[in-house]
Structure formats: C-alpha cells, structure tokens
Amino acid sequence: MNSTVSLAAILQQRPDGLYATPSSMNTGQMGLILDFALANRLPTIFLEARWVSRGGLMSYGIDWLELRRHTAMYVDKILRGTKPADLAVEQPARFELVINVKTAKALGLTIHQPLLVRANEVIQ
C-alpha cells in the first residue's frame, strides 16, 4: 500500500488529530505527512521537535541530544571495563515541549498562554 492510500484511509476514520510514530518510513515521508495534516486540518503531535520546525503542531518527547550524550557515557564506562549488567537502568530525566504557533493559527487553533509558557520552544 502506498503512502497516499494509507493517508486517505485515515480520513475515513474521521480523526481529531494525528500522531506519527517515530520510524524511518514516517521520517522519509515527513513532507507528505505534514502537508496531508495541514490540508485536512488535523492537529499533529510528534516525539521529535524536528517535525514541529517543519510545520507540525507540537512535539513532546525526550531531549535526543541529552540522550546521545548519556549513551556516550555508558559506552565510555563499558570500554573502560564496566560490565553492562552492572550499569543502572535509567529513564530520561528531561522532556521537551515544542509548539508551532504558526501551524496552530493555520489550523484555526488557539494555544493558551499557560501551555506556551511551559514550552521549551515556541515557533512563531
């Protein structure tokens, strides 16, 4: 099934919004997904801020740069002889909320000030 057919099938469900899971297929179709959502007035939420900078409505997810830094620290410990089984399992400590106000306006949505104040980044 091609991407256009899959997106058209979504409309039959009459969704109130769209969440695109993080995957290489979705990332490869980022422009198509974002254009589809805007054309069909579907608010979107993602896990990665790069979708919002390209026109998505908002993202809420881990700080990927911080995760990469933290991963490097684990690799360093393993290379220095620490057994992986001896390393603590950790959860991300920092999450980022990014909101695209321009997209909200294009969708006819108002993002209220308390949410904007909580955002790590607001794209005008």
Element housing 47 (H / E): none
Residue 28: what pLDDT?
85
Tell me the C-alpha distance between 50 and 72, whole Å.
Answer: 22
Averaged pLDDT score across all residues of the chain: 90
Instruction: Report the share of the chain in percent with pLDDT over 90.
Output: 61
Tell me the C-alpha distance between 43 and 109, whole Å.
Answer: 9
| pTM of model > 0.85 | no
- Taking the domain 3-63+94-123, which CATH number applies? 3.40.50.2300
In the predicted model, what is the mean pLDDT of residues 48-69? Answer: 91
| DSSP label of 88 | P
Sequence spans of domains, the chain? 3-63+94-123
In the predicted model, what is the mean pLDDT of residues 23-47? Answer: 90
Residue 10: what pLDDT?
84
